[in-house]
Amino acid sequence: MDTPIPAAGRDFIRQIIDADLAAGKHVNVVTRFPPEPNGYLHIGHAKAICLNFGLAAEFGSQVPARCHLRFDDTNPEKEEQEYIDAIEADVRWLGFDWGEHLYHASDYFQKLYDYSEELIQQGLAYVDDQSAEEIRATRGTLTEPGTDSPWRNRSVEENLDLFRRMRAGEFADGSRVLRGRIDMASPNLNMRDPALWRIRRAPHPRTGDAWLIYPMYDFTHPLSDALEYITHSICTLEFENHRPLYDWAVDNVSVPCKPRQIEFARLNLSYTVMSKRKLLFLVKEGHVDGWDDPRMPTLSGLRRRGYTPEAIRDFCERIGVAKRDSMVDVQLLEHCLREDLNRRAQRRMAVVDPLPLSIENWEEGRVDWLEAVNNPEDASAGTRQVPFTGELFIEREDFVEDPPKKWFRLSPGAEVRLRWGYLFTCTQVVKDAQGRVERLVGRIDPESRGGNAPDGRKVKGTIHWVSAAHALDAEVRLYEHLFALEKPGADRDFLEDINPHSLKCVTHCKLEAALAEATPELPVQFERLGYFVRDSRAPGLVFNRTVTLRDTWAKEAVKG
Ligand code: ATP
Ligand code: MG
């Protein structure tokens, strides 16, 4: 696995743009992010978004620069308004703004149609009557050339007539296609007379019934770029061998400019799948609770989980861009998240697995309001008052009857600090009929308010607690990776690699009363337990654990 190192110099894309500007090839920089609205955006898209919008922002200090948001909506059967809305919301949430530059490939259908007639006029496109199967069967292989369609040498007039009638709806779905007339013997299969338009009677979310022929992606994409005066069309490596077709399209029709396609390596993340087809399957088959399930790598899932846009942007910056495919450790993403949350999140006390604790030497009904620091990393976050009483809850795992060596938390006779409060010694363990610990009883040192012993004796352990009378009852959802293997589906169906323990719902957790005001937008740290955020969907008090406190990535990075 690669450990990404922050790019020391400028990556190859920035170098290309630097050189183009220096040579006077361009006087501005125009990029675009071109999602197909057939699913929700994921962390891989975030890499492309940060890159394209980031370039526009960076070069904007030098030359006029902008980044477009363009929906590549050429496949009406798979596309939905829900996805369009979610994509816009997610790009904005990540912190980017396309201003007035929102476009849809479907706005260009008429222009693409006109360009296709230009191709026909030049003998560079023809209507093929073969079925999809026949076309596939005559395409050849990597070692064998394809065979010409019997319709390849139709006259310009016949092609124009047939293409116009395709558009007018005279022919059945799938009965004809318009193909580029390029080279059936090309070593690049994409150049073997690729389909440019197909007949499909499907209503489109934006053009409705206006069109019943639809342009293919490989044809639409370059011409849309050209129509928008994109200077650098940045896409992922799988399009590298589509580039000749990209160039063919912009070279052979009267578009106003010729954008340059540049490919970079897509993001692959361990323990994660990023194919929209697989993510859709997880949603449709109910393996997760929707596209925004907090275990999903979608931006809406990460947001619901408690990720911040800052953490995701930091991650995208650190991984950089390269020409070679690699796998990024998901722990790096979590590391970026912890760094951001550590600065941002207010601390609160919460007990996930409550064990009652009674203080013998506390007067009945007395409440002490203790001062607690909201964020030790940020003085401006201030302090709050936390109620301390004679009946508390502590975390069950903070007590053991028979402590191992170096156990600094609670055990019979041992003294610990109750965070922000008093020093406490356990004097009695109350058990139920099964022998399970039911309650602890003990005494505080009344002189130790604030947590320090009056005689200066050392107390190593500090544990968190909440006052039973003031506690809020809540559900807490603890997550692990959605997949149990680093590369899900590497050598079997990816569903078999789903982690059966990816979600644990814990009810009757006890929270500090201040958490009643928690919102899904404000991350909090439950002291000693991790970062949490209030769930944006569930009614009542439900919290998602965003990430634990333990940063294994940082540790491994130090080890080298
Ligand atoms: P598909 O085309 O299979 O539906 P896709 O993930 O490529 O899925 P698009 O909507 O076409 O989805 O992606 C929009 C943009 O995001 C494209 O430019 C694509 O290259 C980029 N992109 C998609 N996945 C990643 C990834 N894992 N890492 C970086 N960029 C990505
Ligand atoms: Mg794609």
Percent pLDDT > 90 in the chain is 95
**Whether the predicted pLDDT of 169 surpasses 60:** yes
For residue 3, the model assigns a pLDDT of 41
pLDDT band at 555 (very low <50, low <70, confident <90, very high): low
**Atom 1, ligand 1: which residue's CA is nearest?**
276
Q: Edge-to-edge strand order for the sheet containing 530-534?
A: 346-348, 524-526, 530-534, 542-547, 472-479, 503-511, 350-351
Tokens of 169: 């709806």
Catalytic choice (14, 36, 118, 419): 36
For residue 1, the model assigns a pLDDT of 44
- If one residue of 266, 273, 280, 299 were mutated to test the ligand 1 pocket, choosing by the most ligand atoms within 8 A of its CB, it would be 266
For residue 326, the model assigns a pLDDT of 87
For residue 9, the model assigns a pLDDT of 66
Please tell me if the CB atom of residue 34 comes closer than 6 angstroms to any atom of ligand 1. yes
**Atom 15, ligand 1: which residue's CA is nearest?**
35
Catalytic choice (14, 152, 258, 266): 266
Cα 196 from Cα 215, distance rounded (Å): 6
Interhelix angle for 309-319 vs 81-94, to 10°? 80
- Establish whether 276 is a catalytic residue: yes
Question: With contact defined as beta carbons under 8 Å apart, do 95 and 76 qualify?
Answer: no
**Whether the predicted pLDDT of 61 surpasses 60:** yes
**Whether the predicted pLDDT of 6 surpasses 60:** no
For residue 58, the model assigns a pLDDT of 97
What atom in ligand 1 is closest to the CA of residue 37? 10
467 to each of 154, 349, 398, how far by Cα in Å?
Answer: 85, 10, 16
For residue 558, the model assigns a pLDDT of 57
Q: How far is the CA of 293 from the centre of ligand 2 (A)?
A: 23
Residue from 474, 478, 463, 452 nearest 392 by CA: 463
211 φ, ψ (degrees, to nearest 5) = -120, 140
Residue from 238, 257, 359 nearest 20 by CA: 257
The model's pLDDT over 265-321, given as tens digits with 9 standing for 90+, comes to: 999 999 999 999 999 999 999 999 999 999 999 999 999 999 999 999 999 999 999
**Whether the predicted pLDDT of 553 surpasses 80:** no
Cα 43 from Cα 92, distance rounded (Å): 14
The Cβ of residue 454 has, within 10 Å, a number of other Cβ atoms equal to 11
pLDDT band at 556 (very low <50, low <70, confident <90, very high): low
What atom in ligand 1 is closest to the CA of residue 238? 20
For residue 486, the model assigns a pLDDT of 96
Please tell me if the CB atom of residue 316 comes closer than 6 angstroms to any atom of ligand 1. no
Q: How far is the CA of 499 from the centre of ligand 1 (A)?
A: 25
The model's pLDDT over 408-418, given as tens digits with 9 standing for 90+, comes to: 999 999 999 99
Residue from 394, 531, 548, 545 nearest 471 by CA: 394
Q: How far is the CA of 142 from the centre of ligand 1 (A)?
A: 25
Please tell me if the CB atom of residue 237 comes closer than 6 angstroms to any atom of ligand 1. no
**Whether the predicted pLDDT of 560 surpasses 90:** no
**Whether the predicted pLDDT of 551 surpasses 80:** no
pLDDT band at 5 (very low <50, low <70, confident <90, very high): very low
Q: How far is the CA of 4 from the centre of ligand 1 (A)?
A: 21
- Give CB contacts under 8 A, 24+ apart, made by 493-502: 494/273, 494/278, 495/287, 498/287, 502/295
Q: How far is the CA of 268 from the centre of ligand 1 (A)?
A: 12
The model's pLDDT over 443-495, given as tens digits with 9 standing for 90+, comes to: 999 999 999 999 999 999 999 999 999 999 999 999 999 999 999 999 999 99
Cα 534 from Cα 373, distance rounded (Å): 21
Angle at 475 between CA 472 and CA 477, to 5 degrees: 140
For residue 550, the model assigns a pLDDT of 86
Q: How far is the CA of 45 from the centre of ligand 1 (A)?
A: 6
**Whether the predicted pLDDT of 28 surpasses 90:** yes
Residue from 57, 156, 147, 149 nearest 99 by CA: 57
Domains of the chain: 12-264 (3.40.50.620), 270-346+474-559 (1.10.1160.10), 350-463 (2.40.240.10)
With 0-12 / 13-18 / 19 or more C-beta atoms within 10 angstroms meaning exposed / middle / buried, residue 236 is: middle
Please tell me if the CB atom of residue 70 comes closer than 6 angstroms to any atom of ligand 1. no
- Establish whether 78 is a catalytic residue: no
Tokens of 387: 């109620």
For residue 127, the model assigns a pLDDT of 98
Percent pLDDT > 70 in the chain is 97
Please tell me if the CB atom of residue 266 comes closer than 6 angstroms to any atom of ligand 1. yes
**Whether the predicted pLDDT of 7 surpasses 50:** no
Cα 391 from Cα 415, distance rounded (Å): 17
- Establish whether 266 is a catalytic residue: yes
Tokens of 148: 């010409």
For residue 174, the model assigns a pLDDT of 96
DSSP E strand stretches across 135-252: 177-180, 195-199, 213-215, 232-236
Question: With contact defined as beta carbons under 8 Å apart, do 90 and 40 qualify?
Answer: yes
Tokens of 150: 């019997």
Instruction: Please provide the average confidence, as pLDDT, over all residues in the chain.
Output: 95
Please tell me if the CB atom of residue 180 comes closer than 6 angstroms to any atom of ligand 1. no
For residue 306, the model assigns a pLDDT of 98
